[in-house]
Amino acid sequence: MGKNIKTYINIFVVFLCLFLFYTIFYNLKNISFLILLLIFLISLLKLKNFSNKTVSTDNYINPKQGYIDAFEQSASLVKLGLDFKITYANRSFCQITLCTKKECLNKNLDYFLQSQEEELSEIQETLKNEQSWEGTLVLNALNHGDSIVQCSIIPISDTNHKLLEYLLIAHNITELAISKKVIRDNAYIDTHTKLPNRMQLIKDKIKYSLKNDLTLIILNIDSFQAINTIYGNDFGDEILKIFSLWIKDNMPTPESILYKFESDVYAILIPSKYDKKELSAYIKKLSLKISKTGLTCKGIDINISFTIGCAQGKKGLLKLASIAYKEAKRIQKSYVIHDVNNKKEEEYINNTKIINILKKSLENDSIIPYFQPIMDTKTKKTNKYETLMRIKKEDSNILMPFEFLDIAKHSRLYPQLSRSIIKKAFSAFERSSIEFSVNLSFQDISNKTTNKFIFDILNEYDIGSWVVFEILESEGINNYDTVLKFTEAVKSFGAKIAIDDFGSGYSNFERILKLQPDYIKLDGSLIKNIDKNDDMKILTQTIISFANKLDIKTIAEYVHSKEVLDIITQMGVDFAQGYYIGKPSPNI
């Protein structure tokens, strides 16, 4: 109908325009008639616009109603009276509960929340305080299974803040919740042995420690990797299952719980008080039994042993048992029970602090080179310096190498620290003709990135003839071919090689012959008491004589007094280094 009106008006306007044109052209003197026609034309145009508006209203959709319809389709909507009886339920809610709208009306909310009294009580208490409640509920579908919904219940008030009703908005999350449950179950179970895992142990510790002190035993199969290597991973997996059953048959108490951690690590939680002597007796008996019987897998008898760490108490059990286990490994004992007087935990905490300081030092470029003078014993002049690493902490205090170097070498930070100090040593001596040395461990030489960095910096600074690379003999060298290849390469730049800490216990004269160093640095353990110990004199003299025959210069470390300096000078040591000669300093 709207379209027809629009068409008629358009035709009428066209005819009117033609008539107006005719009147103006043939009857110009009749002005009043012309004005009348203009007024009539304007009126018709207004009528046309009104008609257009009427037409557009025919297809108009109220956006507010659209939002309501969309909401009705996507969520369950329920209105509750102040007595918590349902006054309205939309189709979505009816589909979840398998009730008609009529069946829902006047039913109390708890009709659909069977066996959830605590939740309902919490909801009512929250809403009576005019606060919204949010959470997860299980809606009962009356013998047709339950639905899990995420819902909000909101109190509705009028303009005078008078409470009128409650509005429940819910989303069905049943499928999502089931998927999460499967994931959660897998997160707490070792999929291979079907035993509870480390995550489950953490939960159980919290639950059981509320009542009693607990005992935790961490157990690791020794040399399990060898079993995998010899018989294959499938055989190893089967051994883990068999071992799980064996441990279950040999638990310390009926209520003890067995857990399977990563790889070949197990844990036993005793959720009650357990005497320390009984614990020790149990572990000894367990170790003896497995060593006698072993395990049989696929007709093959396997010898099994394990290392155990134990802890007792309520707090930090997992950490303390792990510390005890690591200590047992270190001292090569079959088990260690954590002693509260043991300082290992403090040591681990300190190590973590040191690592964090080193990280910040790399970020802030606060690694500082210190330089210790090396004196020529014949001329009494200082013509060499050893570059030593120091760390400047945020409080401006200096961290000494004995505080951080061993810790750093067991972290991924060490190569970065090493490259930083090498770079700063080269920069410090770039415009000097004084010989300087930098320390290198086998870890530095075998690290491809550090190795390349050294050759790049030798090319960049072109001061190879001034640098001495001190290779730390005290740490042992795993592959002398790698070291030999490195020393030959740096010597092509004019660099020299020193064997550091020689005489400390790992020293090997045959390897010295292979490496052909320019210097041998006599370890401080030989020098510091040489004025009081004749055995040290004999050993030191032997090394000096060996070096002289090979035309290798010797440097004595730890020269701390005039007496020591005089002795080593008389023995023929070429250079002296120590606090008597000069302490390390940031200035050359």
Say how far apart CA 85 and CA 79 lie, in whole Å: 8
Q: What does pLDDT average to over the chain?
A: 84
> Same structural domain for residues 516 and 483?
yes
Give me the count of residues in the chain.
Answer: 588
Angle subtended at Cα 67 by Cα 64 and Cα 73, rounded to the nearest 5 degrees = 145
Q: Is residue 496 part of a domain?
A: yes
Structure tokens of 111?
A: 């009709």
DSSP reduced 3-state for 367: strand
Query: Residue 450's beta-bridge partner residues?
Result: none
Residue 131's region, left for phi above 0, alpha for psi from -120 to 50, else beta, is: beta
Beta carbons of 504 and 534 less than 8 angstroms apart: no
Per-residue model confidence (pLDDT) at position 216:
95
Range of the domain at 284: 195-340
pTM for the complete prediction? Answer: 0.53
Per-residue model confidence (pLDDT) at position 342:
64
Q: Is residue 375 part of a domain?
A: yes
- The terminus-to-terminus CA distance of the chain in angstroms comes to 102
Per-residue model confidence (pLDDT) at position 311:
92
| Cα dist from 386 to 196, 358, 503, whole Å | 56, 22, 19
Using H for helix, E for strand and C for coil, what is the string for 226-285?
HHHHHHCHHHHHHHHHHHHHHHHCCCCCCCCEEEECCCCEEEEEECCCCCHHHHHHHHHH
Structure tokens of 578?
A: 């120590």
Which helix (H) or strand (E) segment is 506 a member of? Answer: none
> Same structural domain for residues 46 and 131?
no
CATH code of 209's domain: 3.30.70.270
Q: Report whether pLDDT(454) > 80.
A: yes
**123/239: higher pLDDT:** 239
Q: Which of 26-30, 311-315, 358-362, 559-563 has the lowest mean pLDDT?
A: 26-30
Beta carbons of 156 and 164 less than 8 angstroms apart: yes
> Same structural domain for residues 327 and 421?
no
Q: Is residue 349 part of a domain?
A: no
How big, in percent rounded to 5, are the helix, strand and coil portions of the chain? 50, 20, 30
Beta carbons of 439 and 472 less than 8 angstroms apart: yes
Query: Residue 522's beta-bridge partner residues?
Result: 502, 556
Q: Report whether pLDDT(584) > 90.
A: yes
Say how far apart CA 413 and CA 417 lie, in whole Å: 6
Residue 263's region, left for phi above 0, alpha for psi from -120 to 50, else beta, is: left
> Same structural domain for residues 166 and 279?
no
> Same structural domain for residues 240 and 307?
yes
Q: Which of 159-168, 331-340, 469-478 has the lowest mean pLDDT?
A: 469-478
CB-count burial class (<10 Å; 0-12, 13-18, 19+) for 437: buried
DSSP state of 85: B
Highest mean pLDDT among 70-74, 155-159, 436-440, 475-479: 436-440
Per-residue model confidence (pLDDT) at position 75:
84
> Same structural domain for residues 394 and 247?
no
Total number of domains in the chain = 4
pLDDT in tens, 64-118: 555 556 666 678 899 999 888 999 999 888 888 888 888 889 888 888 876 566 6
**436/137: higher pLDDT:** 436
Residue 61: Cβ within 10 Å count:
8
> Same structural domain for residues 433 and 529?
yes
Q: Is residue 582 part of a domain?
A: no
Q: Is residue 63 part of a domain?
A: no
The pLDDT of 526-545, averaged and rounded, is 92
* DSSP-derived pairing of the beta strands 553-556 and 519-522: parallel
Matching residue, tokens 């009693």: 212
Q: Which of 46-50, 97-101, 341-345, 462-466 has the lowest mean pLDDT?
A: 46-50
Single out the residue of 217, 348, 203, 192 nearest to residue 274, CA to CA. Answer: 217
Per-residue model confidence (pLDDT) at position 349:
81
| Cα dist from 450 to 253, 460, 466, 518, whole Å | 54, 15, 20, 22
Per-residue model confidence (pLDDT) at position 171:
86
Q: Report whether pLDDT(459) > 70.
A: yes
| Cα dist from 183 to 174, 188, 193, 205, whole Å | 14, 9, 17, 21
Per-residue model confidence (pLDDT) at position 266:
96
> Same structural domain for residues 424 and 566?
yes
| Cα dist from 129 to 12, 110, 382, 417, whole Å | 68, 19, 84, 61
* DSSP-derived pairing of the beta strands 265-270 and 214-221: antiparallel
The pLDDT of 29-50, averaged and rounded, is 53
Amino acid occupying residue 166? Y
Go through 298-329 and write b for each residue having 16 or more CB atoms within 10 A of its CB, e for each that does not.
eeeebebebbbbbbbeeeebbebbbbbbbbbe
Say how far apart CA 230 and CA 161 lie, in whole Å: 79
pLDDT band for position 55 (50/70/90)? very low
pLDDT band for position 431 (50/70/90)? confident
Q: Which of 127-136, 147-156, 272-281, 313-322 has the lowest mean pLDDT?
A: 127-136
Per-residue model confidence (pLDDT) at position 92:
87
User: Final residue of a domain: which of 340, 364, 395?
Assistant: 340
Q: Is residue 581 part of a domain?
A: no
The pLDDT of 395-408, averaged and rounded, is 90
Radius of gyration over every alpha carbon of the chain, rounded to an integer in angstroms: 44
Q: Report whether pLDDT(491) > 60.
A: yes
> Same structural domain for residues 324 and 364?
no
Per-residue model confidence (pLDDT) at position 263:
86
Structure tokens of 202?
A: 């953490």
CATH code of 557's domain: 3.20.20.450
**64/380: higher pLDDT:** 380
Q: Give the CA count within 13 Å in the CB-facing half-sphere of 163.
A: 16
Query: Residue 155's beta-bridge partner residues?
Result: 166
> Same structural domain for residues 208 and 322?
yes
Per-residue model confidence (pLDDT) at position 159:
83
> Same structural domain for residues 405 and 482?
yes
Q: Report whether pLDDT(177) > 80.
A: no
Say how far apart CA 363 and CA 384 lie, in whole Å: 31
pLDDT band for position 477 (50/70/90)? low
Q: Is residue 183 part of a domain?
A: no
User: Final residue of a domain: which of 37, 58, 79?
Assistant: 58
Q: Report whether pLDDT(39) > 70.
A: no
The pLDDT of 559-575, averaged and rounded, is 96
> Same structural domain for residues 244 and 323?
yes
CATH code of 92's domain: 3.30.450.20
Q: Is residue 588 part of a domain?
A: no
User: Final residue of a domain: which of 34, 58, 82?
Assistant: 58
Beta carbons of 92 and 72 less than 8 angstroms apart: yes
**456/346: higher pLDDT:** 456
Q: Report whether pLDDT(18) > 60.
A: no
Say how far apart CA 483 and CA 489 lie, in whole Å: 10
Beta carbons of 84 and 166 less than 8 angstroms apart: yes
Amino acid occupying residue 285? K
